[in-house]
Amino acid sequence: MKTRSYIYCLMAPLFLFLLSACEREGELFIKPVKAFKPVTMSGFILGDTLEQYFDGEKVRELYGRVMVPYSQSQVAFEGNEVKMELRNKSNGETVYTQTLNLQDDTSKVPPFYFDGKKIAERYNYPQPQGDEYLINFYFDFPDDAPLVDVTIEVDEIYYDFTQNPFMINLGTTVIPLLSGVKPGEWSELIRINMPEMEKHHPESFFQSGIIIRNAEKKQYYIGNNRDYSFIQASVPDMYATEGKVQCIFSGLSQQGGQLVLTPQEDLTQIFR
């Protein structure tokens, strides 16, 4: 499957124009720069890539989590203003425009969320009631990727240091969460209900994790390997007294020839 490249921020300062001025037929074609000013930007983009333009010049493409601190990006002002645009790569539509002013010490682009079609101030999600754990998922996988089943797997573990290996798995309980989630779309927001678990050893404990499977083959999603099919999200235990909401985005990338579920982001931590 073809995977996507995820770009989080520009790690070197962004200079739109050169410092020196040159003339061509008596007209400046590289204009002198009045000043460089830092610009900050943060947000999240999915569904389609956004292209960033300054005064009509494309400077970069953005997808996934956007984090541009003021120390890592600067805009060159030829005049008193610079026009910044975010355009949808697939159709060229401008989805956001902002005028940056030379008088401002720092230019800040307000936080934003782009769902592939329109831009908003934030990704909205409900607040938990009581001790409820709510969760949904967005799997940013290729178009030909199979549907996704989401489960919780609970291992009952205990340690016996007289054996090798000393960690003993007494058994695994599989708890279905969602079936047939379509990549490229947010799943429904569901509540995690954990059943009571009975111990089979006085010194054992339970270890839980969220795992995804291929909905068609009923195998672990990445190479039929459980470790590679793990989603970074919290599961409530019997002592949980406070609720939580998690909106999990998972990408799919190649690392050293191996498919891995990365990046993984909880949008509730980005849009608090």
- Asked if the structure places residue 210 within a domain, the reply is yes
Same domain as 212, residue 100: no
pLDDT of the residue at 266: 98
Q: Do 110 and 178 lie in a common domain?
A: no
Domain presence at residue 15: no
Question: Do 87 and 165 fall into the same domain?
Answer: no
Residues 161 and 56 in one domain: no
Between CA 48 and CA 100 the distance in angstroms is 25
- What is the average pLDDT score of the chain? 88
Alpha helices, H only, the chain: 267-270
One domain for residues 137 and 97: no
Q: 160: pLDDT confidence band, cut at 50, 70 and 90?
A: very high
pLDDT (mean) for 26-30: 51
In a domain, 5, yes or no: no
Cα 253 from Cα 265, distance rounded (Å): 14
Whether residues 44 and 146 fall in one domain: no
Question: How large is the average pLDDT for residues 73-97?
Answer: 92
Rounded to an integer, the average pLDDT of 181-187 is 98
Mean local confidence (pLDDT), 72-99 = 92
Residue 36 confidence (pLDDT): 86
Residue 169 tokens read as: 């798995």
Q: Residue 4 falls within a domain, yes or no?
A: no
Residues 164 and 105 in one domain: no
Candidate from 5-9, 51-55, 99-103, 257-261 with smallest mean pLDDT: 5-9
Assess whether 85 and 205 both reside in one domain. Answer: no
Give the residue numbers spanning the domain of 32: 22-120
Give the model's confidence band at 13: pLDDT under 50 very low, under 70 low, under 90 confident, else very high.
Answer: very low
- Answer whether residue 159 is part of any domain: yes
Looking at residue 14, its pLDDT comes to 44
Average pLDDT of the residues in 193-204? 93
In this structure, are strands 190-191 and 133-140 parallel, antiparallel, or unpaired?
antiparallel
End of a domain among 120, 152, 176? 120
Same domain, 102 and 191: no
Q: What does the block give as tokens for 14?
A: 């962004």
| Res. 101: pLDDT tops 80 | yes
Number of domains in the chain: 2
148, 193: one domain: yes
The answer to whether position 182 is within a domain reads: yes
Query: Quick one: pLDDT at residue 171?
Result: 96
The arithmetic mean of pLDDT across residues 164-193, rounded, is 96
Strands (DSSP E) found in the chain = 22-24, 27-30, 35-54, 57-68, 74-77, 81-88, 94-101, 107-114, 119-120, 133-140, 148-159, 167-181, 190-191, 205-214, 230-231, 244-251, 253-255, 258-260, 264-266
Percent of the chain with pLDDT over 90: 74
In this prediction, residues 168-185 reach a mean pLDDT of 97
Q: What is the mean pLDDT of residues 59-76?
A: 85
Say what the pTM is: 0.87
**Are 141 and 266 part of one and the same domain?**
yes
CB atoms within 10 A of CB 213: 24
Whole-number pLDDT of residue 172: 97
In the prediction, which pLDDT does 35 show? 87
Q: Of 90, 120, 150, which marks where a domain is finished?
A: 120
Given 88, 120, 152, the domain boundary residue is: 120
Q: Is residue 127 part of a domain?
A: no
The per-residue pLDDT for 73 is 76
Amino acid identity at 178:
L
Same domain (yes/no): 263, 146? yes
